[in-house]
Amino acid sequence: MYDFSELKQIPLNEIWKHEASDFTPWLAENIQKLGDALGIDLELTDTEASVGDFSLDLLAKDLGSSRSVVIENQIKQTDHDHLGKLLTYAGGYDASFVIWVSEEVRDEHRQALEWLNQRTDTETQFFAVVVEILQIDNSNPALNFKLVVSPNEWQKSKRYKSSSNQSARGEKYRTYYQVLIDELVKQNFTRPRTPSSLNWFNFSSGINGIGYGVQFPRGKKVHAYIIIGRELGENRIAIFNVLKARKVEIEVEFGEQLEWNRDQEVTLSTIITSRDGSIESSDEELEEIREWHITNLLKLKEVFQPEIESALETLNSGEQEDSE
């Protein structure tokens, strides 16, 4: 006879006493755990983000596509009030991913989200995630994100594939990125990710506002790059300038000249290495391009990560001196 342990579920309000002051900050700090459960590489953009008179719990972005992600969380079961807010936030931020996190999803709300997934296009996707706190006997509690609503990928991909030639090209990108991601996971460059259908794909650097990416721009070129985004605010240009001041040393270490793009009028700056190629290349050529992408992404991270961290330290120390 086996003496089985008792598995029990702990109410969320025993772990987080208050939704706004306890649970939402915890979820913000652990947003990658939520992303892992969904297969999305999430990066936090803002908390309590304003939409008119309302405040969205968490605003994030999918690093693979830079599309907006809205997240509403509860430490109790879903209710109509939060459903209305969720749709308001989705419209306010033109979200591509709409995520509702709660202790329990009521059947009518699950049906509503599933209906929305059936009626919306491939660019808008709704998720419901249940948070479970599990404990065996008197062990430390374990957290589990349980996905209870997600898009019907078969239906959406069916519409996607039949819509146009652009859709066929999108499938080529998805296929290419999936193999690229799988190889980069082996190199500990990224976590498992969901590929996109766009002509570019970004990866997290571990530093908010800075990432690495690949692109198939128009023409016969492919890129591997560093992106310095708007999340850094005024520091975007400052970090770029610190790196650009070391252009000669960086390019010597990298082994080739790079393309440095700083634009005061746009919300991002890029540092790019490129080669000939196209997503329409033969399978053999695409394999060569993928190997090139892997090599250069790893090299960009090896060369630039310490430079970026040093630049941030320099800027932060300067801000502290100014405040003193």
Q: What is the pLDDT of residues 127-148, one digit of tens each?
A: 999 999 999 988 889 999 999 9
Q: What is the DSSP string of 4-72?
A: PPPEEE--HHHH-S-IIIIIHHHHHHTHHHHHHHHT--EEEEEEEEEETTEEEEEEEEETTTTEEEEEE
Least confident of 82-91, 131-140, 230-239, 267-276: 230-239
The more confidently predicted of residues 32 and 258 is 258
Amino acid at 97: F
Instruction: Tokens for 149, please give them.
Output: 């609503």
Pseudo-torsion of CA 177, 179, 181, 185, nearest 10°?
180
User: In the chain, how long is the greatest CA-to-CA distance?
Assistant: 72
The mean of the pLDDT values for the chain is 87
* Cβ count near 279 (within 10 Å): 15
| Tens-place pLDDT, residues 277-321 | 999 999 999 999 999 999 999 999 999 999 999 988 888 776 555
Residue 111's pLDDT band (boundaries 50, 70, 90)?
Answer: very high
End-to-end CA distance of the chain: 70
Place of tokens 């329990």: 104
**What domains can be seen in the chain, in order of their start residue?**
7-157 (3.40.1350.10), 164-323 (3.30.1460)
158 burial (CB, 10 Å; 0-12 / 13-18 / 19+) is exposed
Residues sharing a CB contact under 8 Å with residue 317, sequence separation 6 or more, in sequence order:
none
- Among residues 166, 280, 161, 288, the alpha carbon closest in space to that of 216 is found at 280
Question: How many angstroms separate the CA atoms of 46 and 60, rounded?
Answer: 7
- Hey, which of 124-133, 165-174, 218-227 has the most confident mean pLDDT? 124-133
pLDDT recorded at residue 159: 42
Per-residue pLDDT at 162: 39
Q: What is the pLDDT of residue 266?
A: 55
Mean pLDDT of 224-251: 87
Q: Residue 120 pLDDT > 70, yes or no?
A: yes
Name the 3-class secondary structure at 227: strand
Confidence at 81, pLDDT banded by 50, 70, 90: very high
Alpha carbon of residue 115 to chain centroid: 25
Count CA atoms within 13 Å of residue 8 on its CB side. 9
Q: What is the rounded distance in angstroms from the CA atom of residue 168 to the CA atom of residue 185?
A: 26
Residue 322 has what pLDDT?
A: 53
Judged by DSSP in three states, 287 sits in: helix
Which amino acid, 71?
I
Please enumerate in sequence order all residues whose Cβ is within 8 A of that of 178, keeping only pairs 6 or more positions apart, or say none. 195
Query: Rounded CA gap, 130 and 74, in Å?
Result: 10
Higher pLDDT, 100 or 209: 100
> How far, in Å, CA of 203 to CA of 259, rounded?
19
Per-residue pLDDT tens over the stretch 144-168: 999 999 887 534 443 444 344 446 7
The predicted pLDDT at position 265 comes to: 52
pLDDT at 239 over 60: yes
Give yes or no for residue 203 having a pLDDT over 70.
yes
pLDDT of residue 80: 94
